[in-house]
């Protein structure tokens, strides 16, 4: 444990510089989270108003996800900037909100993939199991980081390698969700007979990567999923590498975890809001709406519409 009795020691001066950088990153992350919540407050109110007579589990997951993420980011920033008495206990307490946040954010995509696949039992079982894996792996973070008291704050002095496990599991989960939703949206919009008939690689690439020709709602779901997946996967990979590099000081190895978690939540919330509000507008243009059909109802897209007109 480092104390302030040797304020001019090289080790302590170096530590203070590193901690100052960490605090700036965490304070910036907290500012972004607060700004995002304030910026989306009107849309959040609309979503809650749409479900006030029938409050569903995915709406509850959305609210819990936002609150728990903000609480964890606020708590972790406080942990690194304020002289607390018991660092380990405080870290574990705040870590509970990390578990809740990961579970609730992943649950949003569980409902999303079930909705796109029309609540098929096999999809429910597969992604229900993957969601439980995400929730279980998140418990490794509070117990996998050993903390100590430093002058004016707390800091990590040992980060176990298994702390990177949640990042890997969440990346696998996000990849599975992205592929499952993209496959279903492409199938509903075109059917793979279109790909069989057309051997033009450029046209096939436009279908797969840009969703060219999709219905507006399907295209919105498709592109939002692409944006979420690309951004979160890149930052998750960077955070994973940081944890595993042995030459990085312990208190620095987990520095990207908080921004990564916050960005995941911001992007997931954005995807949920866009899907929810655009789906509502597709049924009735004027908002606010009261008894709007939920997103887990079948999404009738281009292929089904064309089949009815044949």
Domain that holds residue 190: 17-305
Q: For the chain, what's the residue count?
A: 310
Q: What is the pLDDT of residue 160?
A: 84
Q: What is the pLDDT of residue 173?
A: 95
Q: What is the pLDDT of residue 201?
A: 58
Q: What is the pLDDT of residue 221?
A: 74
Q: What is the pTM of this model?
A: 0.80
Q: What is the pLDDT of residue 306?
A: 41
Q: Is residue 8 part of a domain?
A: no
Q: What is the pLDDT of residue 224?
A: 78
Q: What is the pLDDT of residue 69?
A: 96
Q: Specify the number of domains making up the chain.
A: 1
Q: Is residue 9 part of a domain?
A: no
Q: Is residue 310 part of a domain?
A: no
Q: Is residue 106 part of a domain?
A: yes
Q: Locate tokens 């399907």: which residue? A: 218
CATH number, position 232: 1.20.1070
- What is the DSSP secondary structure assignment for residue 164, as one 8-state letter? G
Q: What is the pLDDT of residue 68?
A: 96
Q: Is residue 4 part of a domain?
A: no
Q: Enumerate long-range contacts of 90-95, CB under 8 Å, 24 or more apart.
A: 90/154, 91/142, 91/145, 91/147, 91/154, 92/142, 92/143, 94/142, 95/141, 95/142, 95/143
Q: What is the pLDDT of residue 205?
A: 63
Q: Is residue 10 part of a domain?
A: no
Q: Is residue 3 part of a domain?
A: no
Q: What is the pLDDT of residue 92?
A: 92
Q: Is residue 12 part of a domain?
A: no
Q: What is the pLDDT of residue 84?
A: 84
Segments of the chain scoring below 50 in pLDDT: 1-5, 283-310
Q: What is the pLDDT of residue 200?
A: 56
């Amino acid at each position: 444990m480092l104390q302030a009795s040797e304020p001019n020691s090289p080790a302590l001066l170096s530590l203070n510089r590193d901690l100052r950088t960490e605090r700036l990153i965490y304070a910036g992350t907290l500012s972004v989270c607060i700004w995002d919540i304030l910026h989306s407050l009107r849309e959040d109110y609309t979503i809650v108003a749409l479900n006030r007579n029938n409050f569903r589990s995915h709406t509850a997951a959305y609210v819990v996800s936002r609150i728990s993420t903000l609480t964890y980011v606020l708590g972790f920033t406080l942990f690194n900037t304020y002289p607390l008495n018991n660092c380990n206990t405080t870290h574990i307490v705040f870590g509970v909100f990390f578990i809740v946040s990961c579970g609730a954010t992943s649950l949003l995509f569980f409902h999303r993939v079930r909705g796109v696949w029309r609540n098929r039992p096999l999809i429910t079982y597969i992604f229900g199991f993957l969601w439980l894996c995400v929730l279980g792996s998140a418990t490794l973070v509070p117990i996998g980081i050993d903390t100590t008291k430093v002058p004016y704050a707390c800091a990590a002095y040992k980060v176990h390698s298994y702390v990177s496990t949640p990042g890997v599991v969440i990346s696998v989960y996000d990849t599975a969700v992205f592929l499952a939703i993209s496959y279903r949206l492409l199938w509903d919009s075109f059917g793979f007979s279109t790909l069989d008939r057309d051997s033009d690689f450029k046209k096939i690439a436009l279908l797969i990567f840009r969703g060219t020709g999709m219905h507006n709602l399907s295209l919105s779901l498709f592109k939002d999923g692409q944006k979420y997946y690309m951004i979160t996967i890149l930052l998750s990979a960077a955070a994973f590498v940081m944890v595993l590099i042995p030459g990085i000081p312990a208190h620095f190895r987990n520095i990207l975890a908080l921004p990564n978690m916050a960005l995941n939540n911001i992007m997931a919330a954005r995807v949920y809001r866009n899907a929810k509000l655009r789906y509502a507008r597709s049924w009735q243009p004027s908002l606010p709406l009261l008894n709007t059909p939920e997103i887990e109802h079948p999404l009738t897209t281009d292929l089904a519409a064309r089949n009815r007109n044949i």
